[in-house]
């Protein structure tokens, strides 16, 4: 999914092309970019590329684009979907190979999820370990860019556009009711910071509260306590980032920015 982020789309494309195996297809939903993205995509469709579908038109936002891409994935008969935004990358050159192996080992899993890498903006890349899905009532347990959805399990599901920030949370909770869940012991993505969820943190918290009330029937007291803990974590990350990093991230010498 992209809009007016040609450089980010190129970074994602480079990551996919650099994988050790070439057993995937690429679908791109562009929200009507004016930065040359559509021309580039048109040229890719005529070149040696795994790009099998793309569109460039207004889509109402990222989740509208994700719905269009999911429609296309269903029509094309794809088996699984991993949603990346422009700028997101796969964690390592063998990530796709490891994902395909995990899918073979858990063919009935409706959802597979792993850890994520995040760039700190100062040359460091830290490992953000996923929480267990058993604590999904607390919020998203990893980035959606580190989640793989089995198409057969979500064929009739779509991202709810009434949520600008938390539609992926609602979609993931619904997916979790469709079959087994597999925890992957490795990072899936290198998350590109600066997206809507980080720009509109407070709105995202309010939308997550709506999702929890709908899915879990949370009462006012329980939701107030959960929201307070999330707001505290957001404040800690914003005002005392070193403390937040200490508790939420892990250092790894395997990952660095060149």
220-242 confidence digits (pLDDT tens): 777 777 777 777 777 777 777 77
Please, are residues 112 and 182 in contact by the beta-carbon 8 Å criterion?
Answer: yes
Return d(Cα 117, Cα 135) in angstroms, integer: 20
Average pLDDT of every residue of the chain: 89
The set of residues, in sequence order, having a beta carbon less than 8 Å from that of 113 and lying 6+ positions away, is 130, 133, 141, 142, 146, 147, 148, 181, 182, 183, 184, 188
Question: HEC states along 3-69?
Answer: CCCHHHHHHHHHHHHCCCCCCCCEEEEECCCCCCHHHHHHHHCCCCCCEEEEEECCCCCHHHHHHHH
Q: What pLDDT score does 228 carry?
A: 76
Low-confidence ranges of the chain (pLDDT < 50): 253-258
Per-position DSSP letters for 160-227, written without gaps between them: -TT-SSSHHHHHHHHHTTSS-EEEEEEEEEEE-S-SHHHHSHHHHHHHHHHHHHHHH---HHHHHHHH
Residue 254: strand, helix, or coil:
coil
Per residue in 74-102, pLDDT (tens digit) is 999 999 999 999 999 999 999 999 999 99
* Cα-Cα end-to-end distance for the chain: 25
Please give the C-alpha separations between residue 166 and each of 103, 151, 184, in angstroms, as whole numbers. 26, 20, 23
pLDDT confidence of residue 138: 87
pLDDT at 39: 95
Strand partners, 53: 27
């Amino acid at each position: 999914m992209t809009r007016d982020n040609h450089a980010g789309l190129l970074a994602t494309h480079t990551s996919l092309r650099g994988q050790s195996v070439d057993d995937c297809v690429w679908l791109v939903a562009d929200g009507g970019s004016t930065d040359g993205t559509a021309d580039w995509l048109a040229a890719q469709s005529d070149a040696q590329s795994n790009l099998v579908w793309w569109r460039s038109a207004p889509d109402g936002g990222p989740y509208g684009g994700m719905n269009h891409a999911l429609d296309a994935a269903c029509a094309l008969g794809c088996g699984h979907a991993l949603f990346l935004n422009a700028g997101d990358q796969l964690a390592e050159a063998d990530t796709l190979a490891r994902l395909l192996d995990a899918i073979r080992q858990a063919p009935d899993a409706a959802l597979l999820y792993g850890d994520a890498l995040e760039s700190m903006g100062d040359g460091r890349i830290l490992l953000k370990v996923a929480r267990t899905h058993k604590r999904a009532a607390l919020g998203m347990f990893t980035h959606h860019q580190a989640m793989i959805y089995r198409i057969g399990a979500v064929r009739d599901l779509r991202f709810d556009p009434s949520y600008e920030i938390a539609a992926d949370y609602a979609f993931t909770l619904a997916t979790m009711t469709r079959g087994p869940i597999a925890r992957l012991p490795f990072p899936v993505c290198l998350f590109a910071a600066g997206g809507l969820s980080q720009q509109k943190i407070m709105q995202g918290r309010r939308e997550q509260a709506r999702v929890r009330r709908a899915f879990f029937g949370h009462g006012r007291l329980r939701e107030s306590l959960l929201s307070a803990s999330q707001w505290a974590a957001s404040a800690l990350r914003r005002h005392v980032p070193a403390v937040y990093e200490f508790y939420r991230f892990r250092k790894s010498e395997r990952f660095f920015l060149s």
